[in-house]
Chains A and B, each alone.
Chain A
Amino acid sequence: MPPPADIAAQARAPAATPIPTRATAGGHAGDRVFALTLVALGGAVLLVVGVVVLELYRVAQPALAKGGLRFLIDRDWDPVAGSFGALPFVYGTVVTSAVAIVLAVPISVGMALFLSEMGPPKLRPVVSFLIETLAAIPSVVYGLWGLFVVVPLLRDHVQPALAKTLGFLPLFRGPTIGLGYLAAGVLLAIMILPTVASVTTEVLKTVPPSLREGALALGATRWEAIRMAILPYARPGILGAALLGLGRALGETMAVTMVIGNAPEISASLFAPGYSLPAVIANEFAEATGALHLGALAGLGLVLFGLALVLNSTARLLVRLVARGPRAVA
């Protein structure tokens, strides 16, 4: 039962008042408080992000003051000696992410096609559920499994086989200890599969069904209809999905730290141990020696932040492009 004040207020209101929407809700104290609270909460989000960026910058300041981000291209990382060349980490991040994308995108597109077009409809919910489960497993558990299952597998079976068949490539040479870029890349691929696969599935769903029908009506097989009509249309979105996966791979810390070997070096071979930006932060931050060391690590964090920002924005733009699409019929 509305309080008397409200009834009185309504009696005073002119007869043809439209239903109060948020735009015309002024006049009631509770509404004002509520509105202000909401705006404050929204603003708090902006504030928080602002604080994050500023704080990151502040911690990184000692290192940035010494010559900006140039330390990114120096090769020598030796905190004790005071040199903070971060190139090995950048290299490691790039290489492992590249391996992850190369492995994950075809598998994800295949899965997405299975889920949206080619697979029997009855299996689809099962596969969806499995993808969600993949996404729910914590990173450290992937690392544990990677350390004791993937690494021995690579060391004892996969890497020797690769060395035998493709050993003429510099990518597949050198001692096979299991830990290294390949192990990290494989783990990353598994971990970003849910992201890339689910976004790709969504993108495929936004392709207008009339395109598929048009292709089929011309006498195309199911795969030909996909190749001719659906994939070309969805391509920007699939690229977006890949970028989102890349963004996730870049920031992935624990699983990589546990299998990459933690060697701040640059090697051409995928079998070699390496390091990545998040991994070095994870390993060294807690016991960093001095503000400069901390600053350098935080500077690496800043780089990660910037990369993630760029990748995510671009990715979302691409996905939205496909969904909206200026492909509407005139």
Chain B
Amino acid sequence: MKALVLRRAVNVAVTVACGAMVVFAVAPLGSLLWLVVSKGVAGLSLSFFTALPTPVGEPGGGVGNAILGTAMLVGLACLVGLPLGIGAGVFLAERGDGPFGRAVRFTAEVFSGVPSIVIGIVAYGIVVVAMRRFSMIAGALALALLMVPTLARSTEELVRLVPGTLREASLALGVPAWKTSLRVVLRTAAGGILTAVLLAIARAAGETAPLLFTSLNNQYWNVRPDQPTASLTVQIFNYAISPYEDWHQKAWSAALVLLLLVGSLNLLARLALRRSAAGGRA
């Protein structure tokens, strides 16, 4: 007979092992965050946020253009990605129960697993080839395509969560169905949708691969959509793989800036979620 003591010991051992697994997972996180902060902070200054990159060896310089570039790329991407993603999500929630809806849903689900670099190739084919140059638009298109599937799924879930009684009450008052959907249902789901949007933006801001051959990079300020554009992520990449020590330092600082950006967006998203869960507009 297996002694109870042994069985108990195994139980404890497994519990400890599971805890160890958590430590294995969390330790890299701690190391990464610690290093980005401690190494990145050294290079941070006001000029880092506002200045253009300088050639190797020259002191100073910053990622001002990269910050602007990321902002513009993501902003442009939202112009296309948000309406399409949210709209598709509303479609799936309101009218998505038939075979057409199922096809769209399945496609969006599976499409969300496509590697971002493949989407970059597509954006290249559509925009870069047509325009014969790398451009902000191409990068923005890639980012927009990446946003759509997740936004659509999140929106669908959120809209479905709105109680049917709300919809019925509005309809019973004589409000036409389309207005009901837009005003009543979407407004109720707005908090959750805002969260989803913020998360999508955070994810887009952190993308690198598709930008490598769409928006490429740019050492100068650029606000023209038809020109290559700097971005935080590509800049970090270039700095990191270079053989220069001071550029490595800049990579850490730029990474800190990126993490601050992504972190704030995630924090805002969490706040929006809490507000919408607690607030609950009638």
Contacts and interface: CB of A to CB of B under 8 A. Distances in A.
B25 A221 contact: no
Interface stretch (B44-52, B54-62, B85-93, B219-227): B85-93
B259 A119 contact: no
B62 to A, nearest CB: 17
B171 to A, nearest CB: 5
A2 interface: yes
Given A110-B18, A148-B248, A253 B115 contact: yes
A148 B255 CA distance: 13
B249 to A, nearest CB: 11
Interface stretch (B71-79, B103-111, B188-196, B274-282): B103-111
A258 B258 contact: no
Interface string B98-123: 00110110011111111111111110
Nearest to B237: A140
B18 A145 contact: no
Contacts of B112: 312
Contacts of A42: 88, 91-92, 95-96, 100-101, 104
A46 interface: yes
B18 A111 contact: yes
A40 B227 CA distance: 31
Contacts of B26: 127, 130
A70 to B, nearest CB: 20
**Main secondary structure on B side of the interface with A:** helix
B6 to A, nearest CB: 10
A118 interface: yes
Interface string B178-198: 110110000000000000000
A98 B104 CA distance: 32
Contact of A52 (B84, B145, B179, B213): B145
B131 interface: no
A166 interface: no
Nearest to A191: B28
A45 B83 CA distance: 11
Interface residues of B, number: 95
Contact of B104 (A46, A130, A138): A46
Interface string A299-321: 00110110011011100100000
**Main secondary structure on A side of the interface with B:** helix
A136 interface: yes
Interface string A214-256: 0000000111100000000000000000001001101111100
Given A136-B266, A141-B259, A247-B113, A38 B87 contact: yes
A281 interface: yes
B177 A34 contact: yes
B265 to A, nearest CB: 9
Contacts of A45: 84, 88, 104, 107-108, 111, 148-149, 152
A110 B23 CA distance: 10
B126 interface: yes
Contacts of B137: none
A132 B111 CA distance: 22
B163 interface: no
A23 B110 CA distance: 29
B90 A145 contact: no
Interface stretch (A25-33, A82-90, A154-162, A204-212): A25-33
B122 to A, nearest CB: 5
A2 B32 contact: no
Interface in B150-188: 152, 168, 171-179, 181-182
Contact of B31 (A145, A193, A285): A145
A145 B40 CA distance: 12
A67 interface: no
16 contacts: A2-B174, A35-B95, A42-B96, A43-B104, A45-B84, A56-B121, A107-B24, A109-B21, A118-B15, A134-B25, A138-B207, A141-B32, A141-B255, A144-B236, A252-B115, A281-B121
Interface of A: 2, 6-7, 10, 19-22, 25, 28, 30-31, 33-35, 37-39, 41-46, 48-49, 51-52, 55-56, 58-59, 106-111, 113-114, 118-119, 127, 130-131, 133-134, 136-145, 147-149, 190, 193, 197, 221-224, 244, 247-248, 250-254, 258, 278, 281-282, 285-286, 297-298, 301-302, 304-305, 308-309, 311-313, 316
Interface of B: 7-8, 10-11, 14-15, 17-22, 24-26, 28-29, 31-32, 35-36, 83-84, 87-88, 90-92, 94-96, 100-101, 103-104, 107-122, 124-126, 129, 134, 145, 148-149, 152, 168, 171-179, 181-182, 202, 205-209, 212-213, 216, 233, 236-237, 240-241, 248, 251-252, 255, 258-259, 262-263, 266
